[in-house]
């Protein structure tokens, strides 16, 4: 103990987020009462945020292996093989709670943290994406959150110098008190230059590198493992403060030091800071670590070992160097004007030993901290209201009157309207490799010096997951893969950010269990491995949980980036085809919410074999240069998909669409949503080849119209459904979101 440390009691442990049972478990493991610093270590490492106490039992079902997976879950980021010497590393994480408390810095440091996860692996970041959820944008408080979050994301990424290539923004009342801010990053690494967070080699020196440690972010991990109440604003000191310029220096210094061969292992000091890095690194290697906390560079005076170990100050790394290469490490980081201080050594006793001015203030088995947190298998319960939601028939509200007006309403709704107001604040082209910018189904960038391209996306329809967690989560996987496929890319791997309410509520844990099962089923059917991710529980305020939102981030590869495809019509006269089944539903649809403010009904069925065949057929058609465009038919149904294809590109092109015999009410035909559907435009000269290809893949498809003119017309054999000038369509879509936030 140090002078001034409080006496450790059960009450103090509980104030740190530990239960009585967990505190008793700690005492038994140590055979004594913990010191104050040790209590801090356990509270952070055993938090839900770090230990996955409630989720681990379900996550085991996810498929994580494939021949091309070089690193799966368990490291800072996943890695997949791109062929040759190149590999792709990517990861998505949440920064929900900090962004609610302090929107600008919360979102900014979320970007900073995910970037460090990427270059900790030895990779250079090449892109970031984000997935955001807010309450009603008409609410001034929500507008403040949107403005702060978007500004924070833009500031950090722009200053660091990495392009933002896409993402999504969603809205629902359930996010009003708990927005979701998920950030994804992607990087390139040589397979010979992959680094891992392992403390190996007895006697090897342990270095602290990067920015100095302050008091910001203390208890950030435990804060992220609790729900909010009316006192949330008081937690502002738990939010970290970012410095993207320092992070850029840290990136260059780390990559340069790695190239020298002086680095054995390295880990970002993110959640739980030094406490986490000093525990997890030796635990992975079956080693121990001893550090002198007083040597840690500090930007504030009088910091205690407890504060030093738990601080989540940004732009810091812990690395293990090869003994004898200490001067190489110091020299490299000095070149970039960064601290590089030797604070400890790797040991063989399996203990984390923390000294402060020579006195031992913590001595804990690293396995106890990193691997022995309790794993709970708690009761799950399907909510009683689930059946009532499923039994509601949205067609009881369908009138079919003035479908053109309904289409304009949907296009102007904040969930569908153009998000240009958001992404124009982000640098999209730094690095000059960006080929498809935000605004299409997926972002695409080239790998410099090759013909290879990378496509990236984030996706989740939370309404679907709310109505049917298993099917809705599987649909999120399918849609992410579809967005890559319509861009011409073959999906390589998945990273997920699973945002839910409190796992201590049986109905929330049931949603989580079902969603994980759905993700697993879809990944196995589509042969897409899960290479990493994040679980974010306790997303609720005053008992109001967010909609279950398992965000799927996915990366894919184009063998020839020149074969990429975008969602907008490209040429007058191209034939329009619809791939996939006609089975759709208004359950959980954008139409039902935008027009009637309801979330209810049954989802359209998902056949994963059909999904796979449609995606394979689409990729084959793109690779054969048969298509002018390809667009996932998702939120808003066929009518919205057609409208987007008309007006989202560099020039507006109308369409004449004839759907044949009416297959239900007009609202269902136009706005019904369902999986496995893709709208494509086929080059006239290649139509016969396209027909043959579709036959080979045995997918359901049909020609439905032609590109051309200055209007969108949609009709059935029974008459006209939609007839709108492109100016009106574009005006509704382009101005809809901005009208809500400006």
What are the residue numbers of the active site? 49, 95
Cα-flanking dihedrals φ and ψ of residue 477, to 5°? -65, -45
Tell me which residue of 8, 22, 187 sits closest to 91, measured CA to CA: 187
Tell me which residue of 62, 112, 42 sits closest to 279, measured CA to CA: 42
Q: Which residue has the tokens 């009410």?
A: 665
Tell me which residue of 559, 496, 507, 483 sits closest to 531, measured CA to CA: 496
The CA–CA distances, whole Å, from 530 to 69, 267, 493, 497, 593 equal 9, 21, 6, 11, 32
DSSP string, 382-402: --THHHHHHH--GGGT-----
Torsion angle of C-alpha atoms 298, 300, 304, 307, degrees rounded to 10: -80
**Nearest-angstrom CA–CA distance, 442 and 437:** 8
- Neighbour count for residue 720 (Cβ, 10 Å): 11
565: buried, middle or exposed (CB in 10 Å: 19+, 13-18, 0-12)? Answer: buried
Across 464-522, the runs of DSSP E, i.e. the strands, are: 490-499
What DSSP state is assigned to residue 5? P
- Neighbour count for residue 596 (Cβ, 10 Å): 14
**Nearest-angstrom CA–CA distance, 551 and 136:** 20
Q: Which residue has the tokens 């296009």?
A: 411
Cα-flanking dihedrals φ and ψ of residue 214, to 5°? -125, -165
When computed from its CA atoms, the radius of gyration of the chain, rounded to whole angstroms, is 26
For residues 577 and 682, the answer to whether their CB atoms sit within 8 Å is yes
**Nearest-angstrom CA–CA distance, 137 and 146:** 8
The angle formed by the CA atoms of residues 162, 167 and 168, to the nearest 5 degrees, is 150
**Nearest-angstrom CA–CA distance, 268 and 71:** 17
Sign of the alpha-carbon torsion through 656, 661, 663, 667: positive
For residue 526, give the 3-state DSSP assignment: helix
Q: Which two tokens stand for residue 667?
A: 């609202």
**Nearest-angstrom CA–CA distance, 134 and 146:** 7
Contacts of 65 (CB under 8 A, 6+ apart): 72, 529
Sign of the alpha-carbon torsion through 2, 6, 12, 15: negative
Q: How far is CA 479 from the centre of its chain?
A: 14
**Nearest-angstrom CA–CA distance, 197 and 202:** 16
Sign of the alpha-carbon torsion through 574, 662, 642, 711: positive
For residues 362 and 353, the answer to whether their CB atoms sit within 8 Å is yes
What DSSP state is assigned to residue 511? H
Q: Which residue has the tokens 């960038």?
A: 445
Q: Which two tokens stand for residue 577?
A: 């085809």
Tell me which residue of 300, 311, 289, 292 sits closest to 357, measured CA to CA: 292
Beta strand 453-459 with 443-446 is antiparallel
Beta strand 655-658 with 711-716 is parallel
Q: Which strands make up the sheet holding 69-71, listed edge to edge?
A: 69-71, 78-83, 86-94, 180-190, 124-134, 164-171
């Amino acid at each position: 103990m140090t002078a001034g440390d409080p006496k450790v009691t059960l009450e103090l442990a509980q104030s740190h987020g530990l239960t009585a049972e967990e505190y008793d478990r700690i005492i038994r493991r140590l055979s004594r009462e913990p010191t104050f610093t040790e209590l801090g270590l356990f509270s952070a490492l055993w938090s839900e945020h770090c230990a996955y106490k409630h989720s681990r039992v379900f996550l085991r079902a996810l498929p994580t292996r494939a021949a091309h997976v070089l690193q799966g879950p368990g490291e800072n980021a996943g890695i997949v093989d791109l062929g040759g010497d190149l590999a792709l590393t990517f990861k998505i994480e949440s920064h929900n709670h900090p962004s609610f408390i302090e929107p600008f810095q919360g979102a900014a440091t979320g970007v900073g943290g995910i970037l460090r996860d990427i270059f900790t692996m030895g990779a250079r970041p090449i892109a970031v994406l984000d997935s955001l959820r807010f309450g009603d944008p008409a609410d001034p408080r929500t507008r403040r959150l949107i403005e702060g979050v978007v500004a924070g994301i833009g500031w950090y990424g722009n200053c660091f110098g990495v392009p933002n290539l896409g993402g999504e923004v969603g809205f629902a009342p359930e996010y009003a008190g708990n927005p979701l801010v998920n950030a994804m990053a992607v990087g390139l690494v040589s397979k010979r230059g992959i680094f891992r967070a392992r403390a190996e080699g007895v006697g090897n020196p342990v270095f602290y590198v990067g920015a100095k440690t302050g008091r910001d972010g203390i208890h950030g991990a435990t804060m992220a493992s609790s729900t909010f109440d009316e006192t949330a604003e008081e937690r502002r000191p738990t939010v970290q403060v970012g410095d993207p310029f320092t992070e850029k220096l840290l990136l260059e210094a780390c990559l340069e030091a790695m190239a020298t061969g002086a680095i054995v292992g390295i880990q970002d000091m993110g959640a739980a800071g030094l406490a986490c890095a000093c525990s997890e690194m030796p635990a992975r290697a079956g080693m121990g670590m001893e550090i002198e906390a007083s040597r840690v560079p500090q930007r504030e005076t009088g910091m205690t070992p407890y504060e030093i170990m738990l601080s989540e100050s940004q732009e810091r790394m812990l690395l293990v160097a090869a003994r004898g290469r200490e001067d190489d490490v110091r020299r490299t980081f000095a070149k970039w004007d960064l601290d590089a201080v030797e604070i400890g050594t790797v040991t063989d006793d399996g203990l984390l030993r923390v000294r402060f001015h020579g006195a031992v203030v913590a001595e804990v088995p690293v396995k106890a901290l990193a691997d022995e947190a309790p794993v709970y298998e708690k009761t799950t319960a399907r909510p009683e209201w689930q059946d009532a939601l499923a039994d509601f028939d949205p067609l009881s509200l369908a009138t079919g009157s003035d479908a053109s007006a309904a289409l304009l309403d949907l296009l102007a709704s904040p969930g569908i309207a153009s998000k240009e107001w958001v992404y124009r604040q982000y640098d999209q082209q730094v690095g000059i490799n960006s080929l498809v910018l935000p605004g299409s189904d997926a972002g695409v960038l080239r790998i410099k010096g090759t013909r290879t391209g990378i496509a990236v996306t984030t996706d989740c329809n939370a309404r679907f997951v709310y109505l049917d967690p298993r099917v809705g989560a599987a649909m999120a996987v399918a849609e992410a893969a579809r967005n890559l496929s319509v861009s011409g890319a073959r999906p390589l791997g998945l990273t997920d950010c699973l945002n839910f309410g409190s796992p201590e509520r049986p109905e929330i844990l049931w949603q989580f269990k079902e969603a994980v099962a759905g993700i697993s089923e879809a990944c196995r059917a589509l042969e897409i491995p899960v290479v990493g991710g994040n679980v974010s529980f306790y997303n609720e305020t005053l008992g109001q949980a967010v909609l279950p939102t398992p965000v799927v981030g996915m990366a894919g590869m184009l063998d020839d980036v020149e074969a990429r495809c975008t969602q907008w019509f490209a040429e007058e006269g191209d034939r329009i085809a619809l791939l996939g089944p006609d089975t759709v539903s208004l359950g959980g649809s954008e139409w039902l919410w935008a027009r009637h403010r309801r979330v209810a009904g049954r989802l359209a069925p998902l056949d994963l074999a059909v999904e796979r065949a449609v995606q394979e057929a689409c990729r084959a058609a793109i690779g054969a240069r048969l298509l002018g465009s390809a667009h996932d038919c998702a939120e808003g149904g066929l009518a919205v998909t057609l409208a987007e294809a008309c007006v989202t590109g560099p020039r507006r092109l109308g369409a004449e669409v004839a759907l044949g015999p009416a297959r239900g009410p007009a609202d269902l035909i136009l706005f019904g949503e369902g999986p496995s559907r893709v709208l494509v435009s086929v080059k006239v000269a290649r139509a016969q080849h396209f027909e043959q290809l579709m036959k080979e893949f045995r997918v359901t498809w049909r020609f439905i119209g032609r590109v051309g003119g200055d209007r969108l017309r949609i009709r059935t054999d029974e008459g006209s459904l939609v007839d709108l000038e492109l100016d009106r369509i574009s005006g509704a879509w382009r101005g809809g979101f901005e009208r809500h936030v400006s």
